[in-house]
Structure 1
Amino acid sequence: MTAPSRNKNIGPLRRRALAAGAAALSVLALLAAPAAWAQPRQGGTLNWLVNPVPASIVPLTTTAGGNAEIGPKIVEGLLTYDYELKPKPLLATAWSLSADGLQYTFTLRKGVKWHDGKDFTSADVAFSILTLKQVHPRGRGTFANVVEVRTPDPYTAVVVLSKPAPFLLTALAATESPIVPKHLYEGTDIAASKYNSQPIGTGPFVFKEWVQGSHIILERNPNYWDKPKPYLDRVAVRFVLDAAARAAALESGAADLANGTGGIPLSDVERFRKLPGVEIDTRISPYLGSHQQIYFNLDTPALQKVEVRRAIAQAIDVNAFAKTVWYGLGTPSASPIGKGISRYHDASIQPYPYDPKAAEAALDAAGFKRGAGGTRLKLRVLYNPFQERRAADFVRQSLGRIGIDAAVESYDFATYVTKAYTERAFDITLESLTNLFDPTVGVQRVFWSKNFKVGLPFSNAAHYVNPEVDRLLEAAAVEVDETRRRQLFVDFQQIVHRDVPSIELGANPAITVLAKKVRDYGPTGEHIRGSFADLYFRP
């Protein structure tokens, strides 16, 4: 049956008017078409602000933010991902999983060259995966079930597992699992390799120079396999430590792009929304899974008592924290698996009620009564520079109200990592350990007792040990049934919330400031941790 014409009874004059209007719209569409269909423009230098200064560039032996952001412009992963975390080809063009879930077969892209002219082959893939398993902070967990990587020919890599790893296919982006050149790393001290700071990759940009304290220069790879990309001639990574100076550079046009701690103060966001020359992007990378938290050092005698930890949790108003420190731009979450991983997040878990009086009573009962000057105990408070000093001050003030003298210590990023993870010279630390794309990769590392290792950054900072939590995490890591896997993670969240090794804050604000001329800086799920191969300047 044909639908009746909507113009049947409208009269000849009205029909002529509609026809004229349609014709005018068609003309406008044609006039607009060249701009819409235009190819990205070639050329230009991107001035990109990054903070804090990383210790190296490639995210091979560290998951630090600067490495994970800069490295993927130079080195690549087997895959990239869309905003639903569906895999897309990169160095691998095809992939398959065996029926038993124990073998991933990757078909590799042909004709790819390392920046020094050597051919990229399956030998590089095998070497990189087995190296990541040994030296990458999360790789020990991500690739724990990998027993070998077979290379039947230069363009086929077969990853063989002892047990299923349902998260593995999502762990292969450059920001998480970079593929590095075997011929330059093999037989060397991986952690001390000069190629961590002077990288040779297969990616769209070639490392040119690093002037310490100033900048890193990346230049267009003329031999990139995905021509005509990249579109930019150069990426200038600028290290500007002062937030006000970064804001001024972005406002004046001296800088084109900045994100997170490398960007503007949160207090400036609303003002920047009104500026004509810039845009504010609040998209959250699903691959990164932003999340921040407060960890207790469970080797500190006073903090070994769960009553004390719960009292401290009651003294910190998480909702007020989100409003004052995050300016209402974040997403509070009381569970270690935040709302960003909605399929595993347990929404029933809420923050401990803010109740300073109950906190004081609990501390009295635990044997920590106020002494001289009203002080119950003294605690050292650190904070990862990826959190703001204002966050640490909020915690200090909150604890001061219940008689805890919390002394905040400020360090640059490298010193912070040493203090927190090697010297363990803290009682409380404010961290920024992202959930990432799957709890087995982003969350297990924090609460799995087997991942406590002095000197291993961004691991089990609390030194939390609970055999049942270990069992649940290990079972979830190999469970292929999604319903059962979710229940394992829910049970895990409930136990951790009761044990209080941490106070979960939730997803911190994701604020990217970009000049209006900047286009396609984050088209993949990795967002700013992608390659910049698609980035171009519009006229």
Structure 2
Amino acid sequence: MMRILTLGLLAVLLTACSLGSTPAPTNEPTTPPIQVPQGGTLTIRTAQDIAALHPWKPTCHEEAQLLGLLYRGLTKLDQSLAPQPDVATSWQSDSIGQTLTMTLRSDIRWHDDTTLTAADAAWTISAMQSISPTTPLLTDLQGLVRKVTAPDDTTLVISLREPYAPLLSALSMPILPKHVFEQLSPVELDQLNLLTQPIGSGPFMFEQRTAGSAISLIRNSNYIDGVPYLDRVAFVVAPDPQVARQAVRDGDLLAAELPWAQSQGLGPTVGIGSYPENGFYYLAFNMRDGRIFSDQRVRQALALSLDLNTIVETAGPAAQAILSDHLPGTWVAPTGELPKRNLDQARELLDQAGWVLPEGATIRASNGITLSMALFVRGDDQRRIEVAERIAAATRPVGFNIVVTPADFESVIRSKLVTPFDFDLALMSWGNSRVGGSPSYTAYDPDNFSLFHSSQIYQGVADGRPGLRNYGAFQNTSFDNLSTAARALYATERRRELYQQTNTIIQTEYPYVFLWADRIPVALAKQVRSTQGEIRLDTANWLYDVQHWYLEQ
């Protein structure tokens, strides 16, 4: 099986290098220094065959990577996933944040040698507004963008219904060529497969797709920001993790995201890193009046009863401890040590909250009610059940009586998260994605308004809003004000300062106890180098600036 993959790889790459006839020699880059080795193919694993490429809803990380190599956006996300200039060199808003004026470059060309202009960007945003809003990203854009115009080739004006800083991350999505797609109807746009007409503006151009085997890209010799050193990038289909592991060890795959078990022991010629999946596991409290955890002291006491390092170990080797919903490595992620277990402080907090330990008892009580509650956890996930049991055991010494309650998510747990919100404690997971489907960092933004802002709490039978996510009913006026301000500011550094403050509030008020995020390992052959320094493998955007990569001889 491993030998079949190796031979298949070689066949695909040989085919890619001889499409129809012997290709003309590739143009030598003009900007890279002459001593850097030129040419070669970067082979990247994809766990699934990519038959379609959707511009606004990539279904896997490799699709998003393909889009990033083929296309450019008005902005781009850097290695910390903060929005940076790309086709747009700068932007400024009016005094109320509802009009954003962007200045675009004039020197970027499509792969068919047509000039990319503001009209392409305006048409692309309008197209995103016309199609079915099947993802959070499209829903946001359709609800918030009032109008978009291109007064000239290098100016784009976006009018909003309200200030919305996450727009800058959304604008990292691909700009599409208006002259190629403007005749398509909204239905046709919604179903658009870019592999059928792959005219982009990125550092690589589409070469061919071999169904079930690979997609190959060839370098864009006219790329204005430095012609790539590599001749090609090939996404090679390798669904079996063990086969992919052997291909990495043998050097047939130069880059691969692998399951944790297959990422170990790859040998001295392979570098390994990992980044946290854009999702996390946490304890959710019901903080409504009359519930046990409406008192912040009780929430904090439970948190102080836990040894989070032990929790992470129980979750498995891929688990990484986290401090907030802003995950490690992202541009607003908090830093610092994990809170330490402190049973004496936990007991003191419970005493202050009126939960006392009757003589001879092991469970605290207040006004005749014991400090007992069910901890709901998915019954189909043994790992979560083991963590839940660990939590229950850790809290017993301070007087909690937590009863682990495995249950079906759809029929039981989901019903607890809507009216009448009949729960106290649940071990939950959150998969974040602005493009739908599984957790994704595409168009990532740290805005957590929907999770913790008090406006996102269910208000009663007259409240018909779907999908409200503040089901624990967290309320904090300072958080509300800071969160509202952060999503209205287009200055990245100022937003970072505000999120540092909101993270402090979350860590102090305990609407959640953050437990862990799962890491995704990235393997990269050490012969792959970059003129920009060490290649970071601790970020979802590990292909960042791939045009500067080369293969060391």
Per the TM superposition, whether the score is higher than 0.5 is yes
Residue among 514, 522, 525 paired with 1:504: 514
Cα distance in structure 2, aligned partners of 1:304 and 1:208: 60
Look up the match of 2:40: 43
Change (3 A) 1:439 1:265: closer
Residue among 316, 321, 336 paired with 2:325: 336
CA displacement at 1:257 relative to structure 2: 0.6
Percent identical: 19
Look up the match of 1:477: 487
Cα distance in structure 2, aligned partners of 1:498 and 1:268: 37
Look up the match of 1:106: 103
Change (3 A) 1:123 1:483: closer
Change (3 A) 1:38 1:486: closer
Q: Which amino acid aligns with 2:186?
A: T
Change (3 A) 1:323 1:123: same
Residue among 282, 294, 306 paired with 2:282: 294
Residue among 240, 246, 249 paired with 1:251: 249
Cα distance in structure 1, aligned partners of 2:214 and 2:364: 52
Of Structure 1 and Structure 2, which has the larger fraction of its residues in helix? Answer: 1
Q: Which amino acid aligns with 2:193?
A: Y
- Root-mean-square deviation (CA, aligned residues, Å) is 5.5
Look up the match of 1:233: 232
Change (3 A) 1:296 1:155: same
CA displacement at 1:109 relative to structure 2: 3.9
Report SS of the residue matched to 1:528.
Answer: coil
Say if 2:56 is the partner of 1:60.
yes
Report SS of the residue matched to 1:293.
Answer: strand
Contact preservation (8 Å) 1:166, 1:478: yes
Could you list the per-position Cα deviations for residues 72-104 of structure 1 after superposition, in whole angstroms to 9, with x for gaps in the alignment? 122321234655778766434x33426746432
Contact preservation (8 Å) 1:256, 1:514: yes
Q: Which amino acid aligns with 1:150?
A: T
Report SS of the residue matched to 2:253.
Answer: coil
Change (3 A) 1:346 1:128: same
Change (3 A) 1:78 1:479: closer
Look up the match of 2:420: none
Say if 2:171 is the partner of 1:157.
no
TM-score, structure 1 length as denominator? Answer: 0.63
Report SS of the residue matched to 1:189.
Answer: helix
Matches within 5 A, 1:203-222: 203=202, 204-206=204-206, 208-209=208-209, 211=211, 214-220=212-218
Gaps of 5+ in 2: 1-31, 356-361, 394-401, 411-416, 418-422, 433-438, 459-464
Cα distance in structure 1, aligned partners of 2:46 and 2:340: 33
Contact preservation (8 Å) 2:304, 2:343: yes
Look up the match of 2:549: 535
Contact preservation (8 Å) 1:522, 1:532: no
Cα distance in structure 2, aligned partners of 1:126 and 1:304: 52
Contact preservation (8 Å) 2:90, 2:102: yes
Cα distance in structure 2, aligned partners of 1:325 and 1:196: 39
Q: Which amino acid aligns with 1:504?
A: F
- Of the structure 1 ranges 153-162 and 135-144, higher mean CA displacement relative to structure 2 is found in 135-144
Could you list the per-position Cα deviations for residues 343-382 of structure 1 after superposition, in whole angstroms to 9, with x for gaps in the alignment? 6738698478689999994799877869xxxxx5653267
Change (3 A) 1:449 1:150: farther
Look up the match of 1:406: 406
Gaps of 5+ in 1: 1-34, 371-375, 384-388, 411-419, 421-425
Change (3 A) 1:52 1:251: same
Cα distance in structure 2, aligned partners of 1:341 and 1:233: 29
Look up the match of 1:6: none
Contact preservation (8 Å) 2:277, 2:520: no
Contact preservation (8 Å) 1:110, 1:155: no
Q: Which amino acid aligns with 2:206?
A: V
Matches within 5 A, 1:78-89: 78-80=74-76
Report SS of the residue matched to 1:68.
Answer: helix
Residue among 193, 201, 206 paired with 1:195: 193
Q: Which amino acid aligns with 1:91?
A: V
Look up the match of 1:76: 72
Q: Which amino acid aligns with 1:404?
A: V
Cα distance in structure 2, aligned partners of 1:208 and 1:61: 21
Change (3 A) 1:379 1:180: same
CA displacement at 1:151 relative to structure 2: 0.7
Look up the match of 1:3: none
Change (3 A) 1:171 1:129: same
Contact preservation (8 Å) 1:70, 1:529: no
Look up the match of 1:19: none
Cα distance in structure 1, aligned partners of 2:292 and 2:214: 44
Matches within 5 A, 1:232-381: 232-242=231-241, 244-258=242-256, 262-265=257-260, 269=264, 271-272=265-266, 275-281=267-273, 292-294=280-282, 296=284, 317-323=307-313, 325=315, 327=317, 330=320, 332-338=321-327, 340=329, 345=334, 350=339, 361=363, 379-380=377-378
CA displacement at 1:265 relative to structure 2: 1.7
Cα distance in structure 2, aligned partners of 1:299 and 1:52: 42
CA displacement at 1:399 relative to structure 2: 5.3
Could you list the per-position Cα deviations for residues 497-535 of structure 1 after superposition, in whole angstroms to 9, with x for gaps in the alignment? 566554324665464211122233958987325464333
Could you list the per-position Cα deviations for residues 145-168 of structure 1 after superposition, in whole angstroms to 9, with x for gaps in the alignment? 643322123443233456655565
Q: Which amino acid aligns with 1:515?
A: A
Report SS of the residue matched to 2:193.
Answer: helix
Residues paired across the two proteins, number: 460
Q: Which amino acid aligns with 1:333?
A: I
Q: Which amino acid aligns with 2:272?
A: I
Cα distance in structure 1, aligned partners of 2:342 and 2:51: 40
CA displacement at 1:400 relative to structure 2: 6.8
Look up the match of 1:514: 524
Look up the match of 1:23: none
CA displacement at 1:263 relative to structure 2: 1.8
